[in-house]
Structure 1
């Protein structure tokens, strides 16, 4: 009974709740179920790309134009069974914009963009623009003074008069071609070589370009012409080519010809950036084309240099020809041929109290731009030049080295006007210039200003050395007790050293005239080599005396052929191979720039090494003989003395030229004093070692002096006596003495 009562209660409660609830899409309001507007729901049930429509108790969605339901083909849908996405009209209809326009899809739509040279006409699509008419209406001379504008479908081209060209670029104004600047000098075309061949090639190309109509087709010959130019330049600069570039005129002609050729070829190149490299040169060329002048910076770089310039400077402020060009050319082996013509720089340096010498210390580079006025640029140009070699930090203090930014003047000389050094270190120098040409870094080595003390030491020391060498020569020539192979060697060693010191004293600084300076350098080269050659013969003689046979002699003919012939051969070969290496701007000695100095230091090093070898063996053998029971100890002591003096002599001469090498290269005061003192004392030291320290020579000197004193005493006695018988007696005695001496 209780269970039935509960069921009846639950049924009544369910009936009451059901009667009070509205169905989905309706809401109870004042006891009545009313419709809910889902389109006003903040959740945006249909999304942004669709429209919402409310219904009684429900809603439905429709996609906006340009969108479609991605979940089915139903036009009406709800958030549960539909979603709108963009329709790509450009993919669905390839020709939706017509043949002269390109389609770009947008969200819910698309847009048609007319091709260059066409404009959108409402209701007609894209139609051609008559650029010639538009330019004439706006008084814009788009083809230049010597060009005629011809309208094309979607474009135009400039027809140039003869002597003018737009380099095959249809929308470029006509520029004048100066083909006469490529006129070669002398000879028919088939016989032209070197620069003439380049000029002839460029002139033919220029004439062909100026006579063509220059229509709308691009010119494809620019890259090929650039390769031909660099091939010809490589042939000129190769070692096989005849050296017609040794003159300043030839060097200036090469630089000018290549620069004009690059200026002519640049606008014809296909790409905006072109690089080319050969064994003798490399280049990077940048070209910008357009109706308006380009702006911004341009950076060009090669292995040995870089260029920073802005397009405004490269294009110039004059009439814009439709293109702008900047080129950087770097020559790989031109610095040696251009290592001269520093007169203009020396004139500027004359204001200083210290004289300087100069050397090209970077690769030679040329900068070419389309700007016709490069003599005075509106903005400075920065050129970074890498040094030929790294200079140590301490050389700046020891040698007073500085770096100068210079350019090759049209007159055929290096100049610094308009170029300044912005920054420099051991590896590179940044130059800033207000004009363009061919550039290089010059290393200025400031020459030491010789003090009065150094000149006095040099002159007094060398005079003492020459007097001592004269005594040595007379001693070795006339001292009969010491005659032999070794004395002959000493005699000619002193002769060579005497001549070397005499020439050094008289002509080492006489750099003018140039021919005389070369002759002095050759004499010094010969006699100093002779000194070391005779020193080598002394080492060989000592070796023979100890190791082979005691007192072993060498035939005089062999001595003369070796002592004078070997230096003569070396000097002759050096003079034939590199005659320009004899004589420098500072000294009448061998040049340090082309390696000729090793024709002296090379043989000297070899001789010193051989002598060290001979002396080591000689000392070793002497030690063995002294340890044995040799009865002839006097000969061993004599050879020992010979060896000691020979080693001391080699040390003196060798040490002198160690400092001599640094003197001519570094030019420092301390080294100059050491070299001068050693050079001055060597004659005196040879006299002390070989004459004063020799007992036989001292005995000869004593005998010679005693004879002189006896003759003076006898002469005084003859004049002081007045007794005739005494005089007759003295004459009889003199006759007896003469007879004994004769016997």
Structure 2
């Protein structure tokens, strides 16, 4: 049994051995003979990309092509345990030798000579640009420079007073450092400008007197920061003293940017400080620069091109364009409009106002007054103005220290921006031209006649309140000084509102009008307080005269002093001797006036409410209440007249409809007359005094004497009774 199993196993093994021994792995049976199988000739390639397949007897192996290596490191491998990738030959230092650049390629690399080197049999060798320029009869450094060869390059050593604006390999150009001389200072008081001139002169001299291949250059960014720090110090007081100071500052900053530009390392440089905002673009290396240039800031933008900015090649290989915006300089130049002409409309000269930031445009073009093509400057308005009587004017700051429009034109404008096209470069701004109402002869005549009538009526009021004994009291004192203030204000208005020259006199008139009109409203407030005390306190309602004077004249004086200290230049304008409407000074008048009117309305409401309560009660002394009610009605009417007058007066010196001017003129004319009617003619006590005064004038002398000598007791008693009934406010 056992021998049978062994025999069967032997047969099976023999059959298997016979099948396996026909051809081993890697061989093929051919004509009953095993031959080698060439795996490398199969498809697909068993080794993959960038490889070489090598067949062996019964097997094969893979090898990477030159320029490739196995990712697993083995030199010989099969497709199952390797893969070839490119070798970066340029990672080997100095692969191509000195003066050449190595560029890796798939499976290899190539070497190219750097700029300033030439290919030779021994590799890349230095080119002597200076000798080649001599051979070609060229002056690559210009007539005022010497060429110095360096390994792979060269540099131009400029003579004293010259510099290479583009880089060290551009021709030398003249550099005028005399523009930073202290002799050009507009005034010795502008010390900060002297510091700028001194700093920039030192930098200019260093740049134009090079001793090394660096060309005398310093850190342009640091120098630019110092320039604008010094400029901020000058502009910090918010107002320069004169147009000469403005011209000196603008010129010094523009010349400084021309010197700093070649020393900047970046093609675009932006710097912003508290008082300035600047963007500078430079281009180097191109003999004839081309392409557009766009610079922008929050308040302005510039559109030009490099050929315009560079000019006629005065600085070969270099071009610069800069846009500088001043954040508060418009306050110092909001004047000097004497050179603006030809802008009349309907025979009326416009009133000008700076309506944008002042912007300077600086280019490397040595002739910015003769540009090859105009540039476009877009300026953002400082506010919005939609009146049909307003237009926008593009102007520049001329060398004469005044605004001019020559060569600058408005291209387009809307409520927020104006685009100006200018044929030359300087400092620019948008002016708002407001066309004021042209006062007609009838309006002027009505004003003068009305004010004269008002003054005459106020004189009668002053005499009445001063000499009528029957009405003397706190309220009469208030009316007296209210009329005095109103009389002096109207007199100043009539005599000096249009006398703008001399400036000091105009400012004095504006200050006096400010003081006396504030005095009118302050005495109105005191009248409201007095009425309130009469109704609420009943007894001891009088106010000591000293307190009245301190309040009536002291409060306006304090407001005037504070306003004059804060805004001394706000008193007087080019057209009228009144408060300026441009810098907010007008609110030193309208602010207190609005406050007084609101406070008086409060007092009058309380007074009327208290009177209504007393009338509803069983109060036997109705005559006193009737008098207080009459006082209150006249006080409210007085406040309405004066208050309404200044509602229209607020627009008198602004552009507005002609009807506003006529309403103001009528109300202004009626002030004195209405005060006289309300406080004198409508008062029975005053009418009795007038009648008594007129009877004394009209009665013959003899009859008057007999009247005085009469001893009729009934007559004396009647007169005493009448005198007792006319004690006025003291009885109330």
Q: TM-score, normalised by structure 1?
A: 0.83
Q: Distance in 2 between matches of 1:673 and 1:39?
A: 112
Residues 1:694 and 2:683 aligned together = yes
Once the two structures are TM-superposed, the CA of residue 212 in structure 1 deviates from its matched residue by 2.5
- 1:111-150 matches, cutoff 5 A: 111-121=110-120, 123-150=121-148
CA contact (8 A) 1:407 1:414 kept: yes
Q: CA deviation at 1:556?
A: 3.1
Aligned to 1:626: 615
* 1:221–1:268 contact (8 Å) kept in structure 2: yes
User: Which residue of the other structure, out of 292, 296, 311, is the alignment partner of 2:291?
Assistant: 296
Of 586, 590, 601 in structure 2, the residue corresponding to residue 612 of structure 1 is 601
Confirm whether residue 383 of structure 1 aligns to residue 377 of structure 2: yes
**Counterpart residue number, 1:369:** 363
CA contact (8 A) 2:314 2:366 kept: no
Gaps of 5+ in 1: 1-23, 27-37, 715-730
2:244 to 249, 259, 262: 249
Residue 6 of structure 1: aligned partner: none
Does 1:396 find its partner at 2:382? no
Following the alignment from structure 2 to structure 1, what is the Cα–Cα distance between the partners of residues 105 and 378?
50
Relative to structure 1, is the Cα distance of residues 452 and 442 closer, same or farther in structure 2, using a 3 angstrom cutoff? same
Q: Give the Cα–Cα distance (whole angstroms) in 1 for the partners of residues 678 and 375 of structure 2.
A: 66
Q: Give yes or no for contact 2:207–2:217 (8 Å, CA) kept in 1.
A: no
Tell me, in whole angstroms, the C-alpha distance in 1 between the residues paired with 2:305 and 2:160.
33
1:418 equivalenced with 2:414 (yes/no): no
Query: Would the aligned equivalents of 2:190 and 2:245 in 1 still touch at CA under 8 Å?
Result: no
Counterpart in the other structure of 1:475: 464
Question: How is 1:77-116 mapped onto 2 (pairs within 5 angstroms)?
Answer: 88-91=88-91, 93-116=92-115
Change (3 A) 1:48 1:429: same
- Provide the TM-score with structure 2 as the length reference: 0.84
Between 1:408-417 and 1:691-700, the stretch displaced more is 691-700
Q: What are the residue-to-residue correspondences of 1:108-507 with 2, within 5 Å?
A: 108-121=107-120, 123-166=121-164, 169-185=167-183, 193-216=191-214, 219-239=217-237, 245-345=240-340, 347-350=341-344, 353-388=347-382, 390-391=383-384, 395-397=385-387, 400-507=389-496
Contact (CA 8 Å) 2:173, 2:314: kept in 1 or not?
no
Deviation (angstroms), 1:589: 0.5
Tell me, yes or no, if the aligned pair for 2:436 and 2:655 is still in contact at 8 Å: no
Which SS does the other structure have where 1:662 is aligned?
coil
Check conservation: 1:285, 1:325, Cα contact below 8 A: yes
Distance 2:87 2:204 in 1: 56
Aligned residue in 1 for 2:10 = none
Q: Does 1:583 align with 2:572?
A: yes
Map of 2:709 onto structure 1: 739
The answer to whether the 8 A contact 1:357-1:447 is kept is yes
Deviations 1:338-371 (A, max 9, x none): 11100111x2324751221111121111111111
Alignment size in residue pairs: 693
Distance in 2 separating the partners of 1:734 and 1:204:
98
1:349 aligned counterpart, secondary structure: coil
Report the Cα distance in structure 2 between the residues aligned to 1:552 and 1:654, rounded to whole angstroms.
Answer: 26
Distance 1:384 1:192 in 2: 31
Give, in whole Å, the separation in 2 of the partners of 1:515 and 1:129.
75
Q: How far did residue 301 of structure 1 move? A: 2.1
| Shift in CA distance, 703/412, structure 1 to aligned 2, threshold 3 Å | same
* Structure 1 residue 282 displacement after superposition: 2.4
Match of 1:721 in 2: none
Deviation of 1:94 after TM superposition, in Å, equals: 4.5
1:336 Cα deviation after fit: 0.6
Q: Conserved in 1, the CA contact under 8 Å of 2:209 and 2:216?
A: no
| Counterpart-to-counterpart distance in 2, 1:274 and 1:470 | 70
**1:157–1:216 Cα contact (<8 Å) kept:** no
Which whole-Å CA distance do the structure 2 matches of 1:581 and 1:151 have between them? 66
1:200-220 CA-to-partner distances (Å, cap 9, x unmatched) read 222222223323224157834
Report the CA distance between 1:109 and its aligned residue.
3.8
Which 4+ runs in 1 deviate beyond 6 A?
A: 38-54, 59-65, 67-75, 77-85
- Structure 1 Cα separation of the partners of residues 147 and 702 of structure 2: 130
Structure-2 separation of matches of 1:741 and 1:526: 54
5+ residue gaps in structure 2?
1-25, 29-38, 717-732
Q: CA deviation at 1:576?
A: 4.3
RMSD of the alignment, in Å? 3.9
Listed one character per residue, the Cα deviations across residues 722-741 of structure 1 (whole Å, up to 9, x for unaligned) are: xxxxxxxxx87664234349
Q: Do the aligned partners of residues 231 and 87 (structure 1) sit closer, same or farther apart at CA in structure 2, a change above 3 Å counting? A: closer
C-alpha contact (below 8 Å) 2:279/2:324 kept by paired residues: yes
Q: Is the 1:96–1:103 contact (alpha carbons within 8 Å) kept by the matching residues of 2?
A: yes
* CA drift at 1:42: 12
1:166 CA drift (Å): 2.6
Q: How far did 1:112 drift? A: 0.9
Q: CA deviation at 1:430?
A: 1.8
